[in-house]
Amino acid sequence: MAIWKKNNKKEGKYNPPDSKLFKEIEKERGTIPSIISEGSEFKGNIKTSGEIQIDGVLNGNVRAKQIVVGVNGNVRGNVTSNFLRICGKIEGEIRAETLEIVSSATVKGNVFKKTISIESGSKVTGNINELESATAKIFKLQRKSPGKDEKVKD
């Protein structure tokens, strides 16, 4: 389904996309992912609760629910995600619950994961560690130090 349509009244001219079409896409997929296109370079940190696809260059940290680094994608910074698929290059620390490293990928840095798949031909330089469980993180956040009136129990 094309979002640009040809105007038959004016040959060769195109009308802007129909605003209803964007609402249809959003209903079908949830939210539309952010994209750093091939040939683009972005400097800075990115944080989103949605999806992002990186086909260009990102110099900075990225945190998202789902991240795909395309074949020509290159990230120089730390990456944090629930789901991460690497087809390109990442230089930095990776934290992902589910991590897929395909044959065209190159990773330089320490990896923290819950589940991982690594295809033959990929290059990984760094340590691969188990990601701390969500329960343990919540426990650490909820734990408080004793106040003046409270005594520490052994």
Average pLDDT, the chain: 79
CA proximity to 35, closest of 51, 17, 16 = 51
Integer Cα distance of 151 and 92 in angstroms: 43
Beta strand pairing call for 14-15 and 5-6: antiparallel
In tens, the pLDDT along 56-91 reads 999 999 999 999 999 999 999 999 999 999 999 999
Look at residue 4 and tell me whether its pLDDT is greater than 70: no
Non-local (6+) Cβ contacts of 146 within 8 A are 152
Look at residue 136 and tell me whether its pLDDT is greater than 50: no
CA gyration radius for the chain? 21
Look at residue 135 and tell me whether its pLDDT is greater than 50: no
Residue 139 pLDDT level (bands cut at 50, 70, 90): very low
| Distance from the first to the final alpha carbon of the chain | 67
pTM for the predicted model, two decimal places: 0.68
Integer Cα distance of 23 and 29 in angstroms: 10
Residue 154 pLDDT level (bands cut at 50, 70, 90): very low
